[in-house]
Structure 1
Amino acid sequence: MHEKYLLILFYSATGAVKNLAHAIADGAEKRGLQTRIRTVPKVSATSEASEPNIPKEGEIFCTKDDLVNCSGLALGSPTRFGSMAAPMKYFLDSTGDLWSNNELENKFGCVFTSTGSQHGGQEITLFNLMTYLLHQGMVFVGSPYSIKSLHTTMSGGTPYGPSHVANTGGSPNLTTDEYNVASETGARIATLIMQSQSNGS
C-alpha cells in the first residue's frame, strides 16, 4: 500500500494562501500524518500553462499521480471575483480522467481561501472549491466550532474552511486565529484519514 499523505494543493499570488497551506500542514503533521505540498503554474491570457515544468523556487507543481496516490486533499485558492483563481481552475479542469475512473472517491477533502477584503467572496469561493471535491466523490471536512478560534476571529476563518483576510495593505501574514483554524483543520482531516485507514475502510 502506498504511503499515507495529505496532499495540500494550492495556488497563491501574494503568499497568503501559501501560508494557510503550511498551517494546515503543521496541524496534520502534528497528528503524525505526512503531507505533500504542491502548487500549480500560472496561466496565460489564452488559458495555457505559461511556466516551465519545474518551478525555479518554492513548492513543485502538482501531478495527477499526487492526486491519485493521496489519502486526502486540502484544496486552496485565492478569491477572484467570488471564484477560484484561473490557474487552479485550469489544473482541476484537466482531471476529468480521474473523475471518470473514480480515483478520488471516498477520500477526505477540505478547502481554504484568502480575500483582499472582509466580504470579498470567501464563502462563495470555498463552495466553489468544495464543488470539485463533491463531483470527485470525496468526503468533505469542514472546520467545526469546537475550534475555539472560530469564536474569536475578527478576520478569516469559517466553518466551511480556513481563510485569510488581507484588508488594507494586503498582508499575507496570518492572524493567530487564522493560523489556529487552519492548523486545527489540518489536524482534523489527518485524524479522520488515519482513523479510516486503520479501520480498513
Structure 2
Amino acid sequence: MSRVLVLYYSRHGSVAGLARQVARGVGAVTGAEAVLRTVPPVAPATRSVMPPVPEEGAPYATLDDLRECDALALGSPTRFGNMAAPLKYFLDGTSELWLDGSLSGKPAGVFTSTSSQHGGQESTLLSMMLPLLHHGALLVGLPYTLQALSHTRDGGTPYGPSHVASPAAGAELSEDERTLAQALGRRLAVAGGALAAQREALR
C-alpha cells in the first residue's frame, strides 16, 4: 500500500478543491491510499484556543502523518508570491523530521491557488519546494506529456497543479485544473510505491 499525504491550507476552498482532486488521482492507482490533512490558521491565540480537531474538513496534520507517508503533496494559497503563513508555520515545526531524515527519499509535489492569472503561482510553488529540498524529498512536477499542461487557459504549471480563483470561477476548478491535480496524485502514488523499498538507499 502506497500512502500519500495530501497536506494543505485553504482559506476559501480553492486549495481544498485541488487537494481533493490530488487525492482522487492517488485513489486511481491500485494499492494507493490518499490521506487528507490540513493545518490550523495562524493567530496570536492559535495554540491556546484552537480546537484539536477542525469543525469541518480534513483533520489537522501531525508529524507522525509525515513520518508514515510514502509520498507528500503540499498545497497552499498564494500570499504575495509565497506560501501562506499557516503552512509555513507548520513546516517550521518539522525540525525533528529533518534531524532523523523522515522525509528523505520520499517523492513530494506542490499545488496552489491564486485570485488572478499572474498572481504569483510559480513563485509560490517554488517557495514550497525549498523546505522539501532541505528535508531531502524528491520533487515531482508535471511533464508536458500531459496535454492539459500545454492548452490550459486557467491554472497549471510544470512545477505543480494550480487554480485561478477569478471572480467568475471562484473555487470551482476547470477541467484542465482537475486533470492536472489528479495527474500529480497519480505520479506521487506510483513514485511513492516504487521507491518505498529503496528509501534507505536514498537517505
3-state secondary structure, aligned to 1:65:
helix
Q: Is the 8 A contact 2:10 2:76 kept in 1?
A: yes
Question: Gaps spanning 5+ residues in structure 2: where?
Answer: none
Which structure 1 segments of 5+ residues have no match? none
| Greater share of helix | 2
- Are the aligned partners of 1:43 and 1:51 in contact in 2 as well (CA < 8 Å)? no
Give the CA deviation at 1:101. 1.3
Q: Tell me the equivalent position of 1:86.
A: 85
Query: What CA distance in whole angstroms lies between the structure 2 residues aligned with 1:196 and 1:108?
Result: 8
Superposed CA offset, 1:148-195 (max 9, x none): 100111010000000000122460110000000010111111111222
**Alpha-carbon deviations, 1:107-157, whole Å to 9, x = none?**
000000000000000000000001111010000000111111001110100
Contact 1:26 1:183 in 2 (8 A): yes
1:28 is the counterpart of 2:26:
yes
- In the superposition, the TM-score normalised over structure 2's length comes to 0.93
Specify the code of the residue in structure 2 equivalent to 1:98.
Answer: L
Q: Find the aligned partners of 2:64 and 2:169 in 1 and give their Cα distance.
A: 34
Identity of aligned residues (%): 46
Partner secondary structure for residue 75 of structure 2: strand
1:47 CA drift (Å): 7.6
Distance 2:122 2:157 in 1: 8
Report how far residue 63 of structure 1 moved: 0.4
Match of 1:16 in 2: 14
Distance, in Å, in 2 between the alignment partners of 1:72 and 1:126 is 17
Task: Supply the distance in 2 between the matched residues of 1:128 and 1:119 (Cα, whole angstroms).
Answer: 16
Question: Is contact 1:84-1:125 (8 Å) kept?
Answer: yes
Give the drift of 1:55.
1.0
- Supply the RMSD in Å over aligned alpha carbons: 1.6
Q: How many angstroms apart in 2 are the aligned matches of 1:117 and 1:18?
A: 18
Which position in structure 2 is the counterpart of 1:105? 104
Once the two structures are superposed, the pairs formed by residues 176-195 of structure 1 within 5 Å of their partners are 176-195=175-194
Q: TM-score, normalised by structure 1?
A: 0.94
Matched-pair contact (CA < 8 Å) for 1:116–1:170: no
Distance 2:45 2:120 in 1: 23
CA–CA distance in structure 2, aligned partners of residues 146 and 31 of structure 1: 19
Provide the C-alpha distance between the structure 2 equivalents of 1:158 and 1:39, rounded to a whole number of angstroms.
Answer: 23
AA at the equivalent of 2:26: A
- 2:40 corresponding residue in structure 1: 41
Q: Shift of residue 196 of structure 1?
A: 2.1
How far is the alpha carbon of 1:4 from its aligned partner? Answer: 3.2
Structure 2 matches for 1:92-171, cutoff 5 A? 92-169=91-168, 171=170
The alignment covers a number of residue pairs equal to 198
